[in-house]
Structure 1
């Protein structure tokens, strides 16, 4: 087992960097229908976002654990505007349906 703390530190650094670098980050898995739902909503509003497919990343499980520690959400997708989680697929869809998502993106400066 040995090196779990260093991989956790790496995952924390990875997530921190991703959130600091991207306007919108989507932590996803390629086979997840809720992830597809969230990406489709983001595509429909025309915002640029960065996707991290955790099932394709060697440290994906560790990143998911870090996200859980940060947000209390242990499922994907986990969608962030800057460093604020806005939830998963159903949450993103509901925000959009209620007309809140675009305003959140504009307020964060990630959508014109």
Structure 2
């Protein structure tokens, strides 16, 4: 996995504790962002539907995580999954532990 888009994705993931690759109209993306809003934890949303390279970024995310769907939520550089996964981790208390 190399090239300018792969490098960009790696840099974006490393840019914050929580990075969410998202689309503005996606209900699962909204669900993931609401979890972090509830616990008042700052995150960096990367809205792929607002970017010219969004499709290419999704291709790289598919290569990295095994899924092309959004959201792709990263905590401390590790993909924790999508909206449902993020909500489940929050409800179990695991997400809060990961963020400490």
TM bucket (normalised to shorter chain) is over 0.9
SS of the residue aligned with 2:79? Answer: strand
SS of the residue aligned with 2:86? Answer: helix
Q: Which residue of 1 aligns with 2:14?
A: 20
Q: CA RMSD in A?
A: 1.0
Q: Which residue of 1 aligns with 2:59?
A: 65
Highest CA radius of gyration, 1 or 2? 1
| Partner Cα separation in structure 2 for residue 10 and residue 32 of structure 1 | 26
Q: Which residue of 2 aligns with 1:110?
A: none
- Name the TM-score, length of structure 2 as normaliser: 0.95
Listed as ranges, the gaps of 5+ residues in structure 2 are none
Residue 77 of structure 1: how far off its partner (Å): 0.2
Residues 16-48 of structure 1, C-alpha deviations (whole Å, 9 max, x = no match): 111121111000001100000000001111111
Worse-matched range after superposition: 16-25 or 31-40: 16-25
Give runs of ≥4 in structure 1 deviating > 3 Å.
none
In the alignment of these two chains, the number of paired residues is 99
SS of the residue aligned with 1:46? Answer: coil
Residue 58 of structure 1: how far off its partner (Å): 0.4
SS of the residue aligned with 1:58? Answer: coil
Listed as ranges, the gaps of 5+ residues in structure 1 are 1-7, 107-112
